Structure 1
Amino acid sequence: MSLSTLRALQVDMNEAINTLVRCHECTPHNKKIISERRSDLVQILDNLKDDLIPTTTRIRQLGLQSTLTMSIRIAIDLDLFNLIPDRGVSMEELIIHKAGADPHIVVRVVRNCGVNITPACYRALYRLPVGHINDSVNSPGLYEQGDYFSQSDVSQFLAMSAPNVPPSTAPVVLGIDGGQAPVPASDLNNNGESDIDIDIVLSLVYPQSVIVYQVDDENYAVAEVEKANTFNTFLDALDGSYCNYTAYGITGNSPDYDPTYPDPADGGCKGQLQCGVYKPTRVICISYGEAEQDFQKVYAQRQCNEFMKLGLQGHTILAASGDYGVASYPGDITPSGCLSGNGQNQTIYNPDYLSGCPWITSVGGTRLYPGQTILDRESPMELQLDIASAFVGSGGGFSNYYTTPSWQKSAKKNYFRQHDPGHPYYIANSDASNIGANVGIYNRAGRGFPNVSANGAFLPTPVNGTVYRYSGTSLSSPLWASVITLLNQQRTIAGKGPIGFLNPVLYAHPWVLNNIVNGTNAGCGSSGFKAVPGWDPVTGLGTPDYPRMLELFLSLP
């Protein structure tokens, strides 16, 4: 569910040309944040100058990719980077000269970040350093299933948007149960999801190596993406004991949901189920998901226990929160992606999975609007396309399966005490069979998500040679994976272990994040929730502020 979305939106190429954005009002920055941002401008310029290439590449074709695993994909007739004559501009506009370029041509980076986001924009927004470390323990891992990256696409992105990274740079692929990559750019299963994950992480952590876990043979993987990503075979490969682990009346994988190996079908993996064949990376990024209700509660609980085990062993698990606000993608359980029950018809909020699992760090989406700069506060990711049902918003809400974890209770209590949305609610019972009771549209007692957020709007990305602009929380999760990787590198240098399970520390120290305070994640015929001061079920605690996070995590054991 994250980029994990837009499944039912196959439309004529002409229909998506106009992108509408909702009216918004930006709250002025806290003076301290302004001061910090201004004091960083010289360093930002230094970091960015090698990341930018003046280009007149144009995006000509119009298209909309719409599968369970994909973000929205739009191509419009638009300059990839806005080249303007150098007439002299304020420092605040961050007009950056490309070394060796025509002195009369410059790249207006900051204003374009609301139109075309780039690695340079990410660094400026979140004060990220340029990567310079490649150690043996901090390679981030990217979960990929049913979508396959093209190295030529990745190389084109790096040459276009991250010239500090050699275009030939490639991830290390670890195949699980017949998973193989890369594929030719023209392959029908190269839809951009894997490309985007790799593009973002490589561009931000290089020269650190990056690992791709390519999960399941093509027979199963593609079908799972169209129905439900199950994750069990991935977890089996990381922890051999999980293959036979018993919990909630389930031992091992569930044939009703999970692939079975050997796969006798043509082209299937003929080997045995892989158990414990790979060491899990310290950071694992998952840009796939679906509705919590797609699985029985006991199945999800058993799986969540394994994520708990990984977190307590020092692994950070980041998952995109979804792209349809309080709903799932259209067609997930109901045509609208909203739930029905207790006399209600598709008006009940439909929470995301994996985001409901408390041991996951759920990542929501933010955006800048055209004309905004990095000195402006971001807003929740909201995109309203001129297409029926094509609203895209940061996934957020409350789980029907998991209750509020202890580390979130105070933040959630403050949210309802100070910013109660006023919607009717229910308290889910132990088997979640009373969803929609009391005319309620969300579970007030559930674990809230997302935990954090990051920019998820308008990343120009080549797929099969055509540059599209992608949006979705599947941009946000690899961005956060990059941030945690950079922090882990510094902790390694300091002789400390990995960050591991992230959530309790962030809730105890929200000052290390940029809080988002305006915007909503509407859906299911309602206004959804609002982004407000403090934690909220739209953008969580906020976006990363790397120097503050570094200060915090280096101070911890």
Structure 2
Amino acid sequence: MRVRLSWVLLMACAFVDAAPSVRSVHKVKETISPPSKWTRGDRAPSNAIIELRIALPQSNFAELERHLNEVSDPFHERYGQHLSKEEVDALITPHPDSVSLVDEWLALYGLRESNLARTASGDWIKVKIPISLAEEMLDTTYHVYTHSSGTTALRTTSYSLPEHLHDHIELVQPTTLFSTFKRQATTFHFDKEEKFTQAVNAPPINVPTASGGKVDASCNTTITISCLKQLYNAVGYVPSAKNGNKVAVTGYLEQFANLQDLQLFYADQRPDALNSSFTFVSVNGGLNNQTVADAGAEADLDTQFAFGLTHPIPATFFSTAGRPPFIPDIGETQNTNEPYLDWLDFILNERNPPQTISTSYADDEQTVPKSFAQRACNGFATLGARGVSLTFSSGDGGVGDGDPDPATQQCFTNDGTNRTEFIPGFPPSCPFVTAVGGTIHIPETAVFFSGGGFSNVFPRPEFQNPAVPNFLKKLPKGTFAGLFNPNGRAFPDVSAQADNFKIFFQGTPGLIGGTSASAPTFAGFVALLNDARIKAGLPTLGFLNPLIYAIGATHPTAFNDITTGNNPGCGTEGFNATVGWDAVTGWGTPNFGRLKDLVTGKFR
């Protein structure tokens, strides 16, 4: 929405007049090194409008995490006893002292309750103000930064807060956040129709763990809903449309899910689903335009396969508006925050969110300030405590998911030292989401682009012991020394097929690949498992990772272990898939039949 320049100037003057005459003593809150691939330009226009997000400390997140661990541990007596929205909100509501002190500080600059927007629990405050006022409040200077891709953002590399507020404000953004939030690098290509059917008359492939022990030969070149159900032992399972189970995918960056494409897909692969659809939910003004040209390959892939696998489970497509880059037009108000924080605000305020949600968008972890990553990750934990399973694609750059140098294919750190290092992605590196890697072909092998590695922000969670140390012991001594953090949260957790998916895009069939395919695929099977649990009178699965690692350790045949392939990147061959958990395919791909028996019985 365009704002009249005269109004902006008047508002800026009003804010300046209301500012305190004596500056409070400020102390630096956060400083980062100038990020690579971003070039600093002119000072930001002083009367451009920016929306600041102010994070207040969540009063008892440690207690929430304790609850999350207990209700997610299949060996704990509280397993499955998810918290209510009210119980979660009570644990993350800021302490009254923090609220009071921050409100007093904002009031010094003329910012009253009518100027503010708060999340349901009050742990985030949002306010739209001129850049000049943001600079005064944060004792900083904003500049126009331009990324090598051509996108721009209004950012700073350091900001300060009054010293007495440091314990009452965790972070303020957008300030030091230089992320390039993007959908995973799906590849889409058209093939002659005969490629889709060239193997139809070939004998089936013997796969002992598949439904009936065989998979159609055509699945080796073209993945369909039928292929996935055969391969992952789910043929014949019929979910309910009316037991309260729901599944969803998220859409960002103007990726729209086309309804005509969905019907073409259903006619081709799920004729029983014809004339059914999903519920569209707009977040922060998100759209779902339906012209042919507006169809998004990512959105089409996510909705067609997640919802094709789970029909007739009620399905939702969330479209969230906003992009991190800010085009510095003085008269334009834009959302400059990470869109998935807007989505988190929305979904955490929902009383009955879908129990399974898949996302195929991410940042490079090193472009996300640690404070921001931790706070966003806490939001994912909050959803898990309420019984929501979150899957994220693990990335499409192998161990070098951070946009390697095109000439050398080397990956460099973003901290000013320019060290060579593997680049993990975020949110896949958050321990409270399930990261899904990729496989290809039948028998399955790791697909070369499967993102995997180790976080530089989040330590290894307890549920990853001893699986991850066992993997590290298998690495030849000195392998990749200094290139990754062996004590970090390791990912992916699991995997699924990730290439040659047949979708319909802008009215035409084609093949698409990426872990953008594996994440909604795995989510689809999670939704089916939730259906089976509800039918058995049990709660939904919620936060998956403790269960996944417990199953991997005690019932490994519930996953199809992938032991071949690797994920090259950063000028290296990357990690190798191996027996048990590995940093290419996690525990492997799902065996739905065996998982269903485990999660509907007494897990021991």
TM-score in same-fold range (> 0.5): yes
2:218 to 112, 129, 136: 112
Aligned equivalents of 1:514, 1:85: Cα separation in 2: 25
1:178-197 equivalences in 2 (<5 Å): 178-187=285-294, 190-197=295-302
Is 1:150 aligned to 2:258, yes or no?
yes
1:433-448 equivalences in 2 (<5 Å): 440-448=482-490
1:31-430 equivalences in 2 (<5 Å): 68-77=183-192, 79-82=194-197, 89=203, 92=206, 110-129=216-235, 130-146=237-253, 147-166=255-274, 168-187=275-294, 190-216=295-321, 230-239=339-348, 276-277=349-350, 279-328=352-401, 330=403, 336=409, 338-340=411-413, 347-368=420-441, 372=442, 376=443, 378-382=444-448, 393-420=449-476, 422-425=478-481
How far did 1:151 drift? 0.6
Q: What amino acid maps onto 1:396 in structure 2? A: G
Please list the CA deviations of residues 373-424 of structure 1 after superposition, one character each: whole Å capped at 9, or x if unmatched: xxx3x10112xxxxxxxxxx10000000000000102001111123347424
Q: What amino acid maps onto 2:579 in structure 1? A: P
Aligned equivalents of 1:215, 1:367: Cα separation in 2: 31
How far did 1:347 drift? 3.4
CA contact (8 A) 1:229 1:290 kept: no
Aligned equivalents of 2:243, 2:407: Cα separation in 1: 46
CA contact (8 A) 1:192 1:463 kept: yes
Aligned equivalents of 1:208, 1:68: Cα separation in 2: 25
324-333 or 359-368, which deviates more: 324-333
CA contact (8 A) 1:201 1:478 kept: yes
Report the CA distance shift for 1:109/1:152 in structure 2 as closer, same or farther (over 3 A): farther
Report the CA distance shift for 1:340/1:292 in structure 2 as closer, same or farther (over 3 A): closer
CA contact (8 A) 1:363 1:451 kept: yes
Aligned to 2:501: 459
Q: What amino acid maps onto 1:531 in structure 2? A: A
Q: Which structure is higher in helix share? A: 2
Aligned to 1:529: 575
Aligned equivalents of 1:278, 1:549: Cα separation in 2: 28
How far did 1:361 drift? 0.5
Q: What amino acid maps onto 1:405 in structure 2? A: P
Name the SS for the 1:160 alignment partner.
helix
How far did 1:547 drift? 1.1
Structure 2 gaps of 5+ residues are 1-181, 209-213, 329-335
CA contact (8 A) 2:533 2:539 kept: yes
Aligned equivalents of 2:477, 2:353: Cα separation in 1: 40
173-182 or 298-307, which deviates more: 173-182
Aligned equivalents of 2:530, 2:417: Cα separation in 1: 47
Structure 1 gaps of 5+ residues are 1-66, 95-107, 240-275, 383-392, 426-439
Please list the CA deviations of residues 451-487 of structure 1 after superposition, one character each: whole Å capped at 9, or x if unmatched: 0000001012221122221000111111111111111
Please list the CA deviations of residues 327-381 of structure 1 after superposition, one character each: whole Å capped at 9, or x if unmatched: 125379999582237997573111011111100100000110xxx4xxx3x1011
How far did 1:139 drift? 1.0
Aligned equivalents of 2:339, 2:440: Cα separation in 1: 29
Aligned equivalents of 1:342, 1:83: Cα separation in 2: 51
Aligned to 1:514: 560
Aligned equivalents of 2:319, 2:405: Cα separation in 1: 24
Return the TM-score normalized by structure 1: 0.67
Using the aligned pairs only, state the percent identity.
Answer: 30
Structure showing greater Rg: 2
How far did 1:81 drift? 2.6
Name the SS for the 1:399 alignment partner.
strand
Aligned equivalents of 1:84, 1:527: Cα separation in 2: 32
Aligned equivalents of 2:406, 2:285: Cα separation in 1: 29
Name the SS for the 1:443 alignment partner.
coil
Name the SS for the 2:466 alignment partner.
helix
How far did 1:278 drift? 6.1
Q: What amino acid maps onto 1:77 in structure 2? A: K
**Superposition RMSD in Å:** 3.1
Please list the CA deviations of residues 13-36 of structure 1 after superposition, one character each: whole Å capped at 9, or x if unmatched: xxxxxxxxxxxxxxxxxxxxxxxx
Report the CA distance shift for 1:508/1:68 in structure 2 as closer, same or farther (over 3 A): closer
CA contact (8 A) 1:126 1:546 kept: yes
CA contact (8 A) 1:347 1:525 kept: no
Q: What amino acid maps onto 1:543 in structure 2? A: T
Please list the CA deviations of residues 206-230 of structure 1 after superposition, one character each: whole Å capped at 9, or x if unmatched: 111101111125898999xxx9954
Aligned to 2:586: 540
